[in-house]
Amino acid sequence: MKDGFQLYDTHAHLGQARHSGRRQDADTLLRAMDAAQVDRALLIPFPVVEDYRREHDLIAAAVHRYPDRFAGAACLHPFLPEDDFRAEMRRCAEVLGFRALKLQPQYQALNPVSPRSDFLFACALEHRLPVIVHTGSGAPFSLPSLYIMPARKFPELPIVLGHAGGSVYMLETIVAASVCPNIYIELSSLMPHHIHEIINRVPAERLLAGSDLPESLITEMHKVLTMDIAEETKRKILWENPRALFG
């Protein structure tokens, strides 16, 4: 099925979601990854959780048990007291070895254009953690074009636009990535012809694949695997880019 390609899912969730009641453990996720022949995944907490430290510990334990299969990402509410936010970010980066910070504007109403959001991007940059932001549902703060401002303010910080804005705002990700070399696009939830449109306009070095949920793993990976594009492009999207960004 995967014809020698290695597959990296840059959008997997682990833990317990308060908003949906969904639970995802490492072993069930690994079985889904094996069934889809996915080699490695970036584990991200669900957007709304009971206790963010506990969710981070859960992810760190999964990474510790399966270091060849998982990397970890942090997600914490931007309106926590700033000292608490910074302390947990330090713990995630320095103690737990996480490789990214997720922002969920559909549940965490942080205005990325406001200077009030600077601390989050500065903190991520300080710890060398790329920021992955959910885009699409949850407008206006999840609109892809809004991340042009922090991307320009923090040019050394990679910012990944998760879900590529969804099909409705997909064109905004092309605009944002065209004007900011540090903006990346994660392609989950798009139609294949949307992915083609993005590939035609954005350098392949800045594209990533993701599933969001295990039931979408095979579909999301196959969308890229079966496209009529250069093998080299597939290799970058499915493996080389995420390896470089998240380890």
CB of 200 to Zn ion, least distance (A): 26
- Give the interface segment with Zn ion, choosing from 78-86, 105-113, 135-143, 212-220 (CB under 5 A): 212-220
Q: Which residue, 14 or 157, has its beta carbon nearer to Zn ion? A: 14
Q: Which residue, 55 or 212, has its beta carbon nearer to Zn ion? A: 212
Using the rule CB under 5 A, is 220 a contact of Zn ion?
no
3-state SS assignment for residue 227 = coil
Q: How far apart are CA 3 and CA 1, in angstroms?
A: 6
Using the rule CB under 5 A, is 212 a contact of Zn ion?
yes
Q: Which helix (H) or strand (E) holds 231?
A: helix 231-235
Q: Which residue, 48 or 175, has its beta carbon nearer to Zn ion? A: 48
CB of 11 to Zn ion, least distance (A): 6
# residues contacting Zn ion (CB under 5 A)? 1
CB of 72 to Zn ion, least distance (A): 15
CB of 212 to Zn ion, least distance (A): 4
Q: How far apart are CA 219 and CA 90, in angstroms?
A: 36
Using the rule CB under 5 A, is 88 a contact of Zn ion?
no
Is there a contact between 46 and 18 (Cβ–Cβ < 8 Å)?
A: yes
CB pairs under 8 A, 24+ apart, for 228-231? 229/196, 229/199
Q: How far apart are CA 229 and CA 187, in angstroms?
A: 15
Residue ranges binding Zn ion (CB under 5 A): 212
